[in-house]
Structure 1
Amino acid sequence: MKNFVTTIVVLFGFFIASADRHRNEPFTDRALYNLKTIANIVAKKPIVDIDSANVNLFYQKYPKLKKYKSDVMTLYKNRKYNTIWFDNKGLIEFANLLYSKASQLENEGLNFNLAYRDKIDAIFNKGTNADLSPVNTEIMLSTMYIFYAKKVFHGIDSNKFEQIDWFLPRKNVSYTSLLDSILAAPQLLDKNEKQLFGQYYKLREALTRYREIEKSGDWPLIETNPLVPIHHLGDSSKTIGQVRHRLFVTGDLKKDSKSNVFDPELMEGVLKFNRRNGYRPNHYIGPRQINRMNIPIEKYIKTIIVNMERCRWIPPALAKEQELIIVNIPAFKLVYFKNGERALESRVFVGINMMETVIFSSSISRIVFSPYWNVPRSIVENEIKPAMKKDPDYLEKKNMEWNDGKVRQKPGEKNALGLVKFVFPNTYDIYLHDTPYKTNFEVDIPLFSHGCINMQKAKELALLILKNNPDWPPEKVDKAMNGGKEITYVLKKKIPIHIGYFTTWVNDADEINFYFDIYQKDNSLADLLFDYDSE
């Protein structure tokens, strides 16, 4: 009883002191809050009482935040309407941390453009008046949390995906579970690989580096001489010196010797630049490379930001699957992971013009050796029939035949599908297959398909998939590929395949790679992203 009386005396003194400070003011929200605080501490109740009525009233008062209402309401329902941002001492420290992260959203390639930001700033800036009651302060901070979590961990709304033809599965975000985890471990605000695909954080570091370059202004235009468009080892010119400096700035060279001579050291930097930017390993400097180097730094930055957004959509667990295939369309690359390790990389070529390869996910269920190619009706009508009119023997020359009113190409080395194809269910009539056109892989942009994915190392992939399968030794695989008879093997375990679109990627050596935006998707996504970011 003595302790209880002492507590009452102390708290009453606190209230009197507060009232004295405000003696020339009307009975304000702050005074009411102090009185309520005393009662709540004595009764061991929450400092701020939240209920659905409070939330409804808040969004009536601040209508520009109404789109966050549903998620905020769910957040409080899941937490049984307990206060999140206050304890007996006032605002919890995590509130300051979240505000700091939101204020630095540019580090995530985003902007802190939440409506009524001035009131949020006033909550945390001493000497300013937020003009918010404790209840409204609580709900305003919860709104800021949802805003931040949506921007960073979720990205643009899923209903906009149809505009960018992205059909890969998107991760789900529980804002309640996310909040619980970062309240328990605040460092997850900086890096949370359970919520964000690991590539996101690599791109974020690259964004920081490229913004530092932009800030330094060290991105001068490389001058060219139209009379000398190509530079080889041993050549000397002012352009070569400028290229050397650019490769030093981008990290392709460790130092800048200031030399205008195309020496072996510069050659190493050129080869690295070519590899990072989707070019074949050409041992010269030509107009295409210089044009690439002369792209304004802000465009590189925009490319990084756009691909960070794509990373927000990817379920982090995808990278932890023990067996899967990933195709990156702009990189013209396929990677096969087996037992969690990178088992194979292969060049691919994809669809062009009106037959773009679709961005989606499926699972390989069958391997077909010595496949028939059932020619799509559109190709029959637009290509084969006109060719038959010019040459009646066209089908025979192409090893094709009519089958039940359709055209198919018989198995063999000249079959458009090559010697093996990998089948995965989809509505786009797309599959992965070998090709007889191997020379197409020797160019920078190997575009040459009607939408399917043509693979350089198809035989190697089949052998790896069937490795350690006693029923399919290498000799049997080779015979099945060259037997002239279609043979299908149904996989005992399906292999996930994900066909994605990333125009920049940081590899395991922390080198940033930029690829050609062959389908011109970056600009359309940037428009959506920056429009979303301006809301």
Structure 2
Amino acid sequence: MRFQTLQFFSALLLAITFSACGQENKPVTQPKKQVAKPDMKDWNNSIPGNFAEKSTYHFDSTMLDAFLKNYPKYESYAGDMRKFYRGRGFTYAWFDKDGMIEQAGNLRNRIDHMDDEGLNSTVPYHAQLDSVIGSLDESAAGKPDLTPELMLTASYFAFAKIVWGGMDASVSKSMDWYLPRKKVSYANALDSLLKAPVGELKNSEPVYRQYEMLRTYLKRYRSLDSMKNWEPIKMDKKAYKPGDNSPVITAIRKRLYLLGDFAGDTASAVYSADMNDAVKACQHRLGLTEDGVIGNGMISELNITPQKRITQIMVNMERARWVPIPDPEQDYLVVNIPDYRLFVYQKDSLVWSCNVVVGKAMNKTVIFSGDVKYVVFSPYWNVPPSIVRKEVVPGMARNKNYIASHNMEITGRLGGLPVVRQKPGPNNSLGKVKFLFPNSYNIYLHDSPAKSLFNETTRAFSHGCIRVQEPEKLANFLLRNDSSWTPEKINAAMNAGKEQYVTLKKTVPVYIGYFTAFVDSKGKINFRKDIYSKDASLAKALMEN
């Protein structure tokens, strides 16, 4: 799942007060035909691609200033336009000797269908652009009018920043999104596309590829919404299991068919084996226990209307616009908080994933990124002051042996509170290993003695840090290129009972994100609970934008 790469997500711009785990961190040949608007099957193609090579059609640079004076709403894209045209010697990009190139039509169609991008907004002078392009005299000989050329370029940059760049960074910050926003020079992107050798043009967009996959499902759910027949399924018993017979089973079959989970008989009232497979597939997509039992939880999810899912998809498309693109040649880790999963990538390919436990609603895990620098075996746990105040001190008041019974020790006093740490050992709250990526939030990955929690469907139990189900596997992955650390030595260090810091030879980026809708490695749309209640405020901002 690239989440899936998640080409997710390093310095953070804000610091917040957070009660966490409290650990100190040490050319393509151009088409010759005139196409004002290509077939609908082509309009969804990526905008980058077939631009006219430098031609004999030049214009004076002062004409760009005059254009911007006539179209002041394009002024915010003036720098990009100047850089783009300066790089190509102020020659036309959207017209060659045969007229307007095909990609201009693709751009117009993408602009005409901005709603398919999950947006309510459009580019400046949209109507004027259609009018200018529509009035082109394709039979006229000689140099084309400069106005449509410059309007197309300005509209390109406007489209790029709106659709690929997303809302202003102040919006993402207000949503507690502290992952660094991706930085893309769209002028450089255009220039590089023009200079690329024939056959090497990349038909991809400068945006996290989850965006493109979510866009596909946005269309599907709009199609479902147009049916206007999403009546709630009402249960006539507590739960349904294979072999059960009920009219409700028929309704569930139809719903699973519409959602793409089931391709069998939709008229049967029997919970059959093939339906059981479909139910489990659906449960997987919805983050439910994959037991084949249809209970209230699953019915509630099936009853969520396509319109609400459309909003959920749009919200996560916007988040995908914000995500930075990691180096595809580098190892990196991704945590999706609502999915309670850690994904481990090697050179942009998913190697493995496992369950994680994240922060409770009152101790939210922060959405940000860092670089794993240390692996710490048999760690101490430096208990954060907030936990000392709320849990340790009251425990000491109730039980004079509280410190000893929890394998803790007091190392001093600070601000009237004892400074407490828990010694290494099998019952240490951090388990047998932790993974540090220095940050101002005191967030890190670690083992846990509470193994049973990894089997829960909802796994928001921590004070903010991220507990990893397979910590030894992660340690082996991070140290696999260090010949001094064999699997046997790693296992021994985890059980030594003596703290040992290991500095990675090369840091590994970790991206902690928040996606309640995403497409998995099988191409299936997944939905998750909005555990930190973040979707509604972003949906409102999108509607108002």
Question: What is the TM-score with the length of structure 2 in the denominator?
Answer: 0.80
* Corresponding residue of 1:242: 251
User: Which residue of structure 2 lines up, in the alignment, with residue 15 of structure 1?
Assistant: none
Cα RMSD for the two superposed structures: 2.9
SS at match of 2:278: helix
Give per-residue Cα distances to partners, 1:6-27, cap 9 Å, x unaligned. xxxxxxxxxxxxxxxxxxxxxx
Which residue of structure 1 aligns with residue 179 of structure 2? 168
Counterpart Cα distance in 1 of 2:85 and 2:290: 57
Shift of 1:275: 0.8
Q: Aligned in 2, Cα 1:249/1:181: closer, same or farther, shift over 3 Å? A: farther
2:371 aligned partner = 363
Of residues 294, 298, 312 in structure 1, which corresponds to 2:307? 298
Q: Which residue of 52, 59, 66 maps to 1:49?
A: 59
Aligned twin of 2:353: 345
Is the contact made by 2:410 and 2:420 (CA closer than 8 Å) also made in structure 1? Answer: yes
* Aligned residue identity for 2:376: V
Residue type of the partner of 1:282? D
- Residues 180 and 478 of structure 1, relative CA distance in 2, 3 Å threshold: closer
Supply the distance in 2 between the matched residues of 1:45 and 1:268 (Cα, whole angstroms). 59
Partner of 1:257: 266
1:195-216: CA deviation from partner (whole Å, max 9, x where unpaired): 2323222222222222222233
Cα distance in 2, alignment partners of residues 156 and 48 from structure 1: 35
1:271-327 deviation per Cα after TM superposition (whole angstroms, max 9, x unaligned): 111111111223311111111111110121222222222222334444x23422111
**Which sits farther off after the overlay, 429-438 or 274-283?**
274-283
* Runs of at least 5 residues in structure 2 that lack an aligned partner in the other structure: 1-53, 138-143, 414-418
- Cα separation, 2, equivalents of 1:255 and 1:92: 46
Q: Is the 8 A contact 1:248 1:256 kept in 2?
A: no
Contact 1:153 1:312 in 2 (8 A): yes
Q: How many residues of Structure 1 are paired with residues of Structure 2 in the alignment? A: 480
- What is aligned with 2:316? 307
- Give 1:34-183 correspondences, 5 Å limit: 49-52=59-62, 54-87=63-96, 91-111=100-120, 113-126=122-135, 134-180=145-191
Q: Which one of 390, 400, 405 corresponds to residue 392 of structure 1?
A: 400
Name the CA shift for 1:212/1:473 in 2 (closer, same or farther; >3 Å). same
Query: Shift in Å at residue 368 of structure 1?
Result: 1.0
How far the C-alpha of 1:138 sits from its partner, in A, is 3.6
Match of 1:210 among 215, 221, 229: 221
For 2:447 and 2:113, how far apart are their aligned partners in 1? 48
Asked whether the equivalents of residues 342 and 355 of structure 2 are also in contact (C-alpha less than 8 Å), the reply is: yes
Query: Which piece of structure 1 moves more, 379-388 or 211-220?
Result: 211-220
Structure 1, gaps ≥5 residues long = 1-43
Which one of 408, 411, 422 corresponds to residue 421 of structure 2?
408
Q: Does 1:444 align with 2:457?
A: yes
Residue 534 of structure 2: aligned partner: 521
| Contact 1:371-1:420 at 8 Å conserved across structures | yes
The verdict on how the C-alpha distance between 1:238 and 1:72 changes in structure 2, with shifts beyond 3 A counting, is same
Q: Secondary structure at the match of 1:150?
A: helix
1:191 Cα deviation from its structure 2 partner: 7.9
Contact 1:193–1:316 under 8 Å retained in 2: no
Say which structure is richer in helix: 1
Instruction: Decide whether the 8 Å contact of 2:335 with 2:513 is kept in 1.
Output: yes
Note if 1:196 corresponds to 2:204. Answer: no
Aligned to 1:324: 332
Q: Give the Å deviation of 1:232.
A: 2.2
Residue 259 of structure 1 aligns to a residue in which SS? coil
Q: Flag the 1:529–1:75 CA change in 2: closer, same or farther, 3 A.
A: farther
Conserved 8 A contact 1:50-1:82: no
Q: Deviations over 1:341-388 (max 9, x none)?
A: 433311001112232111122121111111110011111112221222
User: Residue 71 of structure 1: CA displacement?
Assistant: 3.4
SS state at 1:123 partner: helix
**Which residue does the alignment assign to 1:12?**
none
Counterparts in 2 of 1:79 and 1:252: CA distance versus 1, 3 Å: same
TM-score, structure 1 as length reference: 0.82
Report the AA paired with residue 386 of structure 2: S
Deviation, structure 1 residue 422: 0.8
Take 2:313 and 2:299, find their aligned partners in 1: how far apart are those partners? 20
* Number of the residue aligned with 2:49: none
CA shift, 1:465, in A, is: 3.0
Secondary structure at the counterpart of residue 449 of structure 2: coil
**1:239 is aligned with what amino acid?**
V
Q: Deviations over 1:49-74 (max 9, x none)?
A: 3434x444444444444433443344
- The answer on whether the counterparts of 2:287 and 2:339 sit within 8 Å (CA) in structure 1 is yes
Percent identical among aligned pairs is: 40
C-alpha contact (below 8 Å) 1:432/1:453 kept by paired residues: yes
Distance 2:509 2:292 in 1: 38
CA distance in 2, matches of 1:343, 1:127: 53
One of 281, 286, 293 as aligned partner of 2:295: 286
In structure 1, C-alpha distance between the alignment counterparts of 2:297 and 2:370, rounded to whole Å = 36
Please give the secondary structure, in 2, of the residue aligned with 1:488. strand
**2 CA distance for matches of 1:286 and 1:67?**
53
Does the CA contact (< 8 Å) of 1:153 and 1:173 recur in 2? no
AA partner of residue 538 (structure 2): L
Matched, 1:465 2:482: no
Equivalent residue number for residue 524 of structure 2:
511
- Contact 1:334/1:347 (<8 A) preserved: yes
Higher relative contact order (CA 8 A, sep 6+): 2
SS of residue matched to 1:167: coil
